[in-house]
Amino acid sequence: MEWCVSMPKIELHAHLNGSIRDSTLLELAKELGEKGTIVFSEVEHVLSKNDRSLVEVFKLFDLIHNVTTDHKTVTRITKEVIEDFAADNVVYLELRTTPKRNDSKGMSKRSYLEAVLEGIKSVDSVEVDFSHNTNVDASSHSHAVDNICNGYERKKIYVRLLLSIDRRVTAEAAMETVELALEMRDFGVVGIDLSGNPVIGQWLTYLPALEYAKNQGLPVTLHCGEVPNPDEIHAMLDFLPMRIGHACCFEEEEWKFLKQLKIPVEICLTSNIRTETITSLDVHHFADLYKSNHPLVLCTDDAGVFSTSLSAEYALASSAFGLGKREMFELAQKAIEIIFACDRVKRELKEMFAKAASDLD
């Protein structure tokens, strides 16, 4: 496990509200309990449960969203989530979140996102590169934080954002999220995600917004095949997303199509097992995709909700599929090719991994 922690890693599938620290979630829920906004004793068991089905996970998200309704809290959880990933030696993080409107708190989708950006800016335990999405020379980026601290080189993490479209929303609301993402491209937003309860909503509702994103050159990743729904899986693959998440309920024909198209897959082992979308690691599609040299990346999904970390996911893959240190390192390194950030970031990450590779043996 130690080497899984120490090696640089790339996280491409992490939901902000699902990555909230347990201790913070409990603290926020207690505060709301004291204010009488929620009955703490009624939610305590939901918070402390460790093995949740997919249905229970979405119940927990409703609860989390009840305690993260104001700008200050959104800023706080963003800061903490980035600090936690950085402490786990994640060097590039694509954090996804659903911009939320909450009239009672004076929150618009835009101000929600601004609170997230505030959280990114307030991280001080590590140097953060977050603001640009254009192919400009690295030298034009002056970093606010000194790279040397007490004689030690500070850690650095690249953070980029994906805006999520929740499957519960209307076509208009989906379009609004894409418009917001386009407006915020110079502030670290690099793509769009489609997520939310997979048994709710229709693909055709989101399609116009997703097509629009694609036509504007904004990469799209889709939660795809979390439940058996062959028509939707086919439609999603026909859309040619830049990546997909999960791919748990694929049949023979869909695997063939996915492999032909070489669409990269974001794999979340613990999440798939906990939510029982895959019965056990022995039958997990990671093994086949890895053997086929299909582009894939290991991710946490919801590090808080599933009590995991990216290092823990690497350790799990290593033991379940018999992969050694070098293979795991190369797996992490290959993820550089499928990030949504610009070439400058890819180049710098390649240098970072090349340096780390020399310390491997």
Q: Rounded to the nearest whole angstrom, what is the least distance from the CB of residue 57 to ligand 5GP in the complex?
A: 7
Amino acid at 229: N
| 166: contact with ligand 5GP by CB under 6 A | yes
Contact pattern for ligand 5GP over residues 76 through 115, marking x by CB under 6 A: ---------------------xx-----------------
- Residues annotated catalytic, as ranges: 226
Q: Rounded to the nearest whole angstrom, what is the least distance from the CB of residue 271 to ligand 5GP in the complex?
A: 5
| 196: contact with ligand 5GP by CB under 6 A | yes
Determine which residue in the list 9, 25, 38, 61 makes contact with ligand 5GP, applying CB under 6 A: 61
**Residue closer to ligand 5GP, measured from CB, 89 or 195:** 195
**Residue closer to ligand 5GP, measured from CB, 7 or 14:** 14
Q: With CB under 6 A, what is the number of residues at the site for ligand 5GP?
A: 17
| 16: contact with ligand 5GP by CB under 6 A | yes
| 201: contact with ligand 5GP by CB under 6 A | no
Chain residues 276-315 in contact with ligand 5GP, contact rule CB under 6 A: 301-302
CA distance 80 to 87: 10
**Residue closer to ligand 5GP, measured from CB, 221 or 333:** 221
**Residue closer to ligand 5GP, measured from CB, 18 or 119:** 18
| 226: contact with ligand 5GP by CB under 6 A | yes
Q: Which stretch binds ligand 5GP (CB under 6 A): 14-22, 83-91, 107-115, 349-357?
A: 14-22
**Residue closer to ligand 5GP, measured from CB, 274 or 344:** 274
**Residue closer to ligand 5GP, measured from CB, 73 or 97:** 97
Binding site for ligand 5GP (CB under 6 A): 15-18, 61, 97-98, 164, 166, 195-196, 198, 223, 226, 271, 301-302
